[in-house]
Amino acid sequence: MRNFDFTPLYRSTVGFDHFADLIDRAFSGDMGQNSYPPYNIEKTAEDAYRISIAVAGFTEDDLTVEVRDNQLLISAHKADDGEEEKKTYLHRGIAQRSFEKRFQLADHVIVTGATIENGMLYVDLVREIPESLKPRRIEIKSTKTIEGKSEKKAVSKAA
């Protein structure tokens, strides 16, 4: 049984259809990316993250980092300069094959930069929640009834 029907969930929840799609993709094998190249995802601050990818043998010109449709896409294509054909390897343990890694970004997560240093590609991300989505306090007004008359009284804040 590989397919799940999430229709009952849609009736009582709002905004979780993306979650159901992720589960469907996980069971269908779409998320089973290969492990090349190895990478880490770390939390560097309360709302900051860093993805570190081992990219030994690649230069800045070989790498591409882009964001589209809430996905971070990191790819590498080794430029063929003809030098590889001239080399004879007795053992080749450093893979320099092309790759493409995709990371699904949560809402309000933006990429702030990318750097390459000592064979590692670092992609920094930060979550910026807009002011309109942050919690805010709502003023509560009360109404009092005095001898059959309704009197509205607003709670005011003294400055």
103 vs 1, higher pLDDT: 103
Mean pLDDT of 26-41: 70
Q: Residue 60 has what pLDDT?
A: 92
75 contacts: CB under 8 Å, gap ≥ 6: 63, 64, 98, 99, 100, 101
CATH architecture of 35-130: Sandwich (2.60)
Q: Where are the domains of the chain?
A: 1-32, 35-130
25 vs 72, higher pLDDT: 72
Q: Residue 88 has what pLDDT?
A: 86
Mean pLDDT of 42-66: 92
